[in-house]
Amino acid sequence: MHKFVYDFAEGNKDLKDLLGGKGANLAEMTNLGLPVPAGFTITTEACQQYLADGSHPDGLGAELDEHLAGLESTMGRRLGDPADPLLVSVRSGAKFSMPGMMETVLNVGLNDESVAGLAAQARNGQAGNEDNDRFAWDSYRRLIQMFGKTVCDVPGGEFEEELHRAKQAKGVKDDVQLDAEDLRALVTAYKKVFSKHVGHEFPQDPRQQLDLAIEAVFRSWNADRAVLYRRQERIPADLGTAVNVVAMVFGNLGPDSGTGVAFTRDPATGETGIYGDYLQNAQGEDVVAGIRNTLPLADLEKIDKKSYDELLTIMATLEGHYHDLCDIEFTIERGKLWMLQTRVGKRTAAAAFTIAAQLVDEGMIDLDEALTRVSGAQLAQLMFPRFDMSGEPAPITRGVGASPGAAFGEVVFTARRAVELAAEDRAVILVRRETNPDDLPGMIAAQGILTSRGGKTSHAAVVARGMGKTCVCGADQMEVGSDQFSVDGHVVREGDVVSIDGTTGRVYLGEVPVRPSEVVQYFEGDLDPALANEPLVAAVHLLMTHADERRRLRVRTNADTGTDAARARRFGAQGVGLCRTEHMFLGDRRELVERLILARAERERSEALAALQPLQRADFLEIFREMNGLPVTVRLIDPPLHEFLPSLEDLAVQVAVAKERGEQAERDERMLAAVRRMHEQNPMLGLRGVRLGLVIPGLFGMQVRAIAEAAVALAREGGHPRPEIMVPLVGAVQELETVRTEAEKIIAEVVGDSGVEVLIGTMIEVPRAALTAGQIAEAAEFFSFGTNDLTQMGWGFSRDDVEGAFFWRYLELGIFGISPFESIDRDGVGRLVRIAAEEGRATRPRLKLGVCGEHGGDPESVHFFHEVGLDYVSCSPFRVPVARLEAGRAAI
């Protein structure tokens, strides 16, 4: 037979699935001998069955009777007994804490008769009546209010209005200034509100109150706000909540009673000390509801030293038991302390690191355990500069927080202007409707990027994240023109200052001051010595060192310039996993690329290539130098060439205008013809990657020669270059073999006896490549999974379009919990990776395996790549520490 009800003494903290977090921890505290009011927990399974069938599961009623009888005998009182009532609270409590999302009803068991019994109980051993009557009526009106709202859907505002009216009539401001008579009248008013909305009187039968309250808590699992919260927090929808029935203790019995919350350490910074709030003569939610001003917990020492000391002892016991920061709810009833809740407390990113390191110092946990207490996401948060919000600035609009950080500067509307002003050392924010590869120099020059279109995978977002640059995109309330933008009545012109928050997506007018992150200073190696002993920096150092010791995955970086490579190396990168060469074709070099594309004769083409070659060589040499001794994977040119040409529309207009004026436009016309010829309906599936190399003679050859020459140059300087040439978009081994044959010839020629070794490998980013990896490995010394394209082609999702178009619906329906471009889709795209890794290694056991998509810096994905047995992940410089940490965590 199923067991649906557990006494607190029967449970423990590991039964969260069944008893919910609150119930499991109440049981744990009970078994530790701490002062917990007696009670029992109805399991989440009972809730699941209730929600499925719409009625109590068979057997629950009998078990309830039995446990209630047990509770009554423990307490020596019967539920709602008119002379001496037992009262209980009925509290929700799911496996994962969902603060304030579900319901709790206090004082169940009170009715028109037992209210007098409660007053008598309170009077027991006390002189005077007034306070005790007041207490009883206060408890009763709270029951009607909570029960009405929670169980019977009475609008809570109506009770609050009555309360407000009562205080006004009496000319007082505070609830506690209402006396017994006032509260008795309030009960009458509340009952009227109740029956008006519910259609019958407030139920007087205590057992009926209990049953209805339990059902209401079950149902609160599916309340709108709870559903929404679960979706946001990715808590499964089918867990259900447990229900805790707990004997009431009273913090509203007078000034020697009260209720409070406490943390065993500061959840904001992790510092040890006394943190919490206390409210005298109050019940339950009053503390958090902000009805009256709370006292700092330290003040309790003066009010009730005995309870205070006991509380501190209990907090130490809990920390020693849970080996972690705990938060606590407690109540003092006439000088007697009661524990009502504890759990391992939520904390900020900074506190997570600091506390983990402290607990290691205190010998409570070991370093492995400490690593499990922090996350890459928290580390990433610590690396972004922050706005100082103390001035409480008001945002003018809001977009998608696409790349975190805080940036301010003068608004500019073109990349060129951004570059000009940045050259004068002025901070700028580049504002565009959307960005394209042409904006790159401006994006590099700007402090931050703000667009009115596009989501988290728009060009602006992806590139900004790659650069670790603050970006807010898709601020769609903004009307962006060529020299101003307007939003919500504000007109912002070039030169006006705005501040953007890449975490929240908020946009502010003017300069919001920014604090730099000391964690980044630490990684950069230029930490202000005064900060070296900061607990946070010391904690990051401790945990990063341990992660590096533990991890098996190596971490490389995606870097296209020497500067990026150098920074990534300071951040701990162990090589370059992706150096994109197309960024080297922008700016002034564009003209050379145009010449290459427009070349009519073989001679013109070789001239254009010959002009590009030394430039490329210089780029590579710079990167090889910065990564001296470490591998550098250079990807041969990947994007369709027409991305380097002006747009068809612009050109057509230009040519037409020139003709109209009778001007010569021979070059423009040739260009126009070329653009027309090269136009593709589906450029992402068109002439790009290895296909370019096979179609345009000499292009890949030029790049291979530049790479080999740069490597030889570094070797001559006494360095140790380790170049790896990577061919993009391969789908068949024959493609790779063709490129390889040509490349090997050139390499042999250039390298001679310099001792330089060049590896040749391929990206695995076309599904066919993954499925024929066994063959492809014959011609590849390494694979690098291009998981962006692999996701795009695996799902058939255009990464530039889908996110804003319909991903919201997919997320809503739970088709996926997170965009597959953000975190690897383990089942589908991940399976392709797994197959390719296994079959590639079957052909070539020493095949090097890495990943260079955006996923290389995503914590969840890093764990997956560890499991699949890759050798390294590669990510943008700023994600390198995050990947190191997660790779360490994955190995535990």
- Interacting residue ranges for ligand ADP, rule: CB under 6 A: 37, 89, 91, 100, 104, 106, 246-249, 284-285, 329, 331, 340-341
Q: How deeply is 328 buried, as exposed, middle or buried, from its count of CB atoms within 10 A (0-12, 13-18, 19+)?
A: buried
- Residue with smaller CB distance to ligand ADP, 342 or 470: 342
Closest by CA to 129, choosing from 118, 145, 140, is: 118
**Candidate list 47, 67, 326, 459, residue with the active-site label:** 459
Minimum distance, C-beta of residue 34 to ligand ADP, in the bound complex (Å): 14
Most distant CA atoms of the chain, gap in Å: 110
Minimum distance, C-beta of residue 728 to Mg ion, in the bound complex (Å): 6
Residue 640 and residue 680 in contact, taking contact as beta carbons nearer than 8 Å: yes
Interaction between residue 789 and Mg ion (CB under 5 A): yes
Cβ neighbours, 10 Å, residue 395: 16
Closest by CA to 508, choosing from 516, 517, 498, is: 498
- Residue with smaller CB distance to ligand ADP, 295 or 652: 295
Active-site residue flag, 459: yes
In DSSP notation, 140-178 reads: HHHHHHHHHHHHH---HHHHHHHHHHHHHHHT-SSGGG-
Minimum distance, C-beta of residue 387 to Mg ion, in the bound complex (Å): 32
Which value, to the nearest 10 degrees, does the dihedral of the CA atoms of residues 158, 164, 170, 172 take?
A: 160
Minimum distance, C-beta of residue 193 to ligand ADP, in the bound complex (Å): 22
- Residue with smaller CB distance to Mg ion, 474 or 786: 786
Query: Residue 294 has what DSSP assignment?
Result: P
Minimum distance, C-beta of residue 774 to ligand ADP, in the bound complex (Å): 55
Q: How deeply is 369 buried, as exposed, middle or buried, from its count of CB atoms within 10 A (0-12, 13-18, 19+)?
A: middle
- Residue with smaller CB distance to ligand ADP, 8 or 137: 8
Beta bridge mates, 635: 580, 726
Q: Taking CB within 5 to 8 Å according to partner kind, which of ligand ADP, Mg ion, none is near residue 789?
A: Mg ion
Minimum distance, C-beta of residue 246 to ligand ADP, in the bound complex (Å): 4
Q: Which residues are annotated as a binding site?
A: 580, 635, 765, 786-789
Interaction between residue 341 and Mg ion (CB under 5 A): yes
Mask: binding to Mg ion, 91-130, rule CB under 5 A, as x and -? Answer: ----------------------------------------
Q: Which residues are annotated as a binding site for substrate?
A: 580, 635, 765, 786-789
Residue closest to Mg ion, measured at CB: 789
Strand stretches in 419-488, DSSP E:
428-432, 448-451, 470-473, 479-480, 484-487
Pull the structure tokens for residue 430: 């580049």
Minimum distance, C-beta of residue 330 to ligand ADP, in the bound complex (Å): 7
Which value, to the nearest 10 degrees, does the dihedral of the CA atoms of residues 244, 247, 251, 256 take?
A: -140
- Residue with smaller CB distance to ligand ADP, 109 or 731: 109
d(C-alpha 747, C-alpha 705), whole Å: 7
Q: Taking CB within 5 to 8 Å according to partner kind, which of Mg ion, ligand ADP, none is near residue 100?
A: ligand ADP
- Residue with smaller CB distance to ligand ADP, 108 or 473: 108
Q: Taking CB within 5 to 8 Å according to partner kind, which of Mg ion, ligand ADP, none is near residue 698?
A: none
Sign for the CA dihedral angle at 396, 402, 403, 404 comes to: positive
Query: Residue 636 has what DSSP assignment?
Result: P
d(C-alpha 430, C-alpha 425), whole Å: 15
**Candidate list 471, 473, 579, 852, residue with the active-site label:** 852
Minimum distance, C-beta of residue 283 to ligand ADP, in the bound complex (Å): 6
Q: Taking CB within 5 to 8 Å according to partner kind, which of ligand ADP, Mg ion, none is near residue 25?
A: none
How many helices (DSSP H) and strands (DSSP E) are in the chain? 35, 33
Interaction between residue 786 and Mg ion (CB under 5 A): yes
- Residue with smaller CB distance to ligand ADP, 329 or 594: 329
Q: Taking CB within 5 to 8 Å according to partner kind, which of Mg ion, ligand ADP, none is near residue 721?
A: none
Q: Taking CB within 5 to 8 Å according to partner kind, which of ligand ADP, Mg ion, none is near residue 791?
A: none
Q: Quick one: which segment of 171-179, 328-336, 349-357, 595-603 binds Mg ion (CB under 5 A)?
A: 328-336
- Residue with smaller CB distance to ligand ADP, 246 or 760: 246
Cα 810 to the center of its chain, rounded Å? 19
Q: Taking CB within 5 to 8 Å according to partner kind, which of Mg ion, ligand ADP, none is near residue 331?
A: ligand ADP
Closest by CA to 356, choosing from 388, 399, 324, 319, is: 324
Active-site residue flag, 852: yes
- At residue 80, the 3 state secondary structure works out as coil
Positions 753 through 782 that interact with Mg ion (CB under 5 A): 765
Q: Taking CB within 5 to 8 Å according to partner kind, which of Mg ion, ligand ADP, none is near residue 786?
A: Mg ion
Interaction between residue 794 and Mg ion (CB under 5 A): no
Q: Taking CB within 5 to 8 Å according to partner kind, which of Mg ion, ligand ADP, none is near residue 284?
A: ligand ADP
Residue 504 and residue 470 in contact, taking contact as beta carbons nearer than 8 Å: no
Minimum distance, C-beta of residue 30 to ligand ADP, in the bound complex (Å): 13
- Buried/exposed code over 818-857 (b: 16+ C-beta within 10 A; e: otherwise): ebbbbbbbbeebbebbbbbbebbbeebeebbbbbbbbbbb
Positions 659 through 678 that interact with Mg ion (CB under 5 A): none
Q: Which residues are annotated as a binding site for Mg(2+)?
A: 765, 789
- Residue with smaller CB distance to ligand ADP, 287 or 553: 287
Pull the structure tokens for residue 456: 């988290």
Catalytic residues: 459, 852
| Residues engaged in binding Mg ion (CB under 5 A) | 329, 341, 765, 786, 789
